[in-house]
Structure 1
Amino acid sequence: MRRKKNYIEFDDDNGVTRRYYRHPNGGGLVEASATVDPEAYVSPNAYIDPGARVHARAVIGAGAWIDRDAQIGPGARIGDRAHVGASAIVSPRAVIGKRATIGAQARIGERVEVIADDVVPEGFTIEVQDGDNPARSVRQRVGADASRAA
């Protein structure tokens, strides 16, 4: 009797075969070199790519894609079908809306909320500026005329 494999293999853009395992909390696919805390939740059909880090209590939505070397902070929430680009940083308790795209090397500050379907450009930074009210989340459309900090 053949034993069932507990992983799935994909070839990356450079033709390198990458092995993805099911995360025990949610069943999403995590590449072998990625680090995902056991307290994080990775929804089915979500992908965590090589070198990415997902910290405790983070929630990765269904169909979301966490790209190579991205970091997801403790308690952050990534919406369904959202994409966090390569080497991007999503800080603790930030919320990324459904289908939102965070560009490569972008930085989303603590408690910032990126609304559904929004696009944060590559290298862009969004920080909460209101230090008197740390619980306040920022909802800002990011577009061509937006500043580098909300």
Structure 2
Amino acid sequence: MRTKRARFELETDDGRVLRYARHDNGGGLVSPDAHVHEDASVAAGAYVEAGAHVGPRSRVGAGSWVDRDVRVGADVTVGTSVHLGPGTSVGAGARVGSRAKVGDGVVVEAGAYVPPDEVVPDRTVVRRGRGAAQPLRSVAA
């Protein structure tokens, strides 16, 4: 049986009201218009915005922000204080290091690795390298 989740409202500087509920696994804040798999964890202090999807067994670290319409596949690790920009897609098994800033519309391929503190420009692709996963970026078509 599920317990009733605490709900929160925040007002933005422009007067919009954003609504969130605490995720059962980790206590992070999730928009009611987002989908976070029940087997995923969203740490306290993390946000998942409207339209975002977080897959099974994925972890979103404390202080991270999964922006609008982001897709996070299964078994993904998102470190602490990460920003995944709107429309970004993170493939299954990928890892995003702490404090990384991933731009809008980025594709992080399955199994790829974004190092800590990395800044990934908008609309690029992070590919899985040979051997150890290495970030290789090229402009997306």
Q: Supply the AA of the counterpart residue of 1:56.
A: P
The aligned residue for residue 102 of structure 2 is 102
Q: Quick check: 1:139 aligned with 2:134? A: yes
The aligned residue for residue 27 of structure 1 is 27
In structure 1, C-alpha distance between the alignment counterparts of 2:132 and 2:6, rounded to whole Å: 39
In structure 2, C-alpha distance between the alignment counterparts of 1:50 and 1:13, rounded to whole Å: 18
Between 13-22 and 74-83, the greater mean CA deviation after superposition = 13-22
Preserved contact between residue 124 and residue 138 of structure 2 (Cα < 8 Å): no
Q: Supply the AA of the counterpart residue of 1:55.
A: G
The aligned residue for residue 41 of structure 1 is 41
- Provide closer, same or farther for how the CA distance between residues 114 and 41 of structure 1 changes in structure 2, counting only shifts above 3 A: same
Question: Going by fraction, where is strand more abundant, 1 or 2?
Answer: 2
Aligned length: 136
In structure 2, C-alpha distance between the alignment counterparts of 1:67 and 1:13, rounded to whole Å: 17
Q: Supply the AA of the counterpart residue of 2:121.
A: P
- Provide closer, same or farther for how the CA distance between residues 137 and 48 of structure 1 changes in structure 2, counting only shifts above 3 A: farther
Could you give the per-residue CA deviations for residues 51-107 of structure 1, whole angstroms, max 9, x where no partner exists?
111010000001000001111110011000011000100110000000001101000
In structure 1, the gaps of 5 or more residues are 131-135
Normalising by the residue count of structure 2, what TM-score does the alignment of the two structures yield? 0.88
1:111 counterpart SS class: coil
- Provide closer, same or farther for how the CA distance between residues 33 and 137 of structure 1 changes in structure 2, counting only shifts above 3 A: farther
Preserved contact between residue 111 and residue 137 of structure 1 (Cα < 8 Å): no
The aligned residue for residue 133 of structure 1 is none
In structure 1, C-alpha distance between the alignment counterparts of 2:85 and 2:32, rounded to whole Å: 18
In structure 1, C-alpha distance between the alignment counterparts of 2:38 and 2:62, rounded to whole Å: 17
The aligned residue for residue 113 of structure 1 is 113
Q: Supply the AA of the counterpart residue of 1:106.
A: V
In structure 2, C-alpha distance between the alignment counterparts of 1:123 and 1:81, rounded to whole Å: 21
In structure 2, C-alpha distance between the alignment counterparts of 1:120 and 1:21, rounded to whole Å: 29
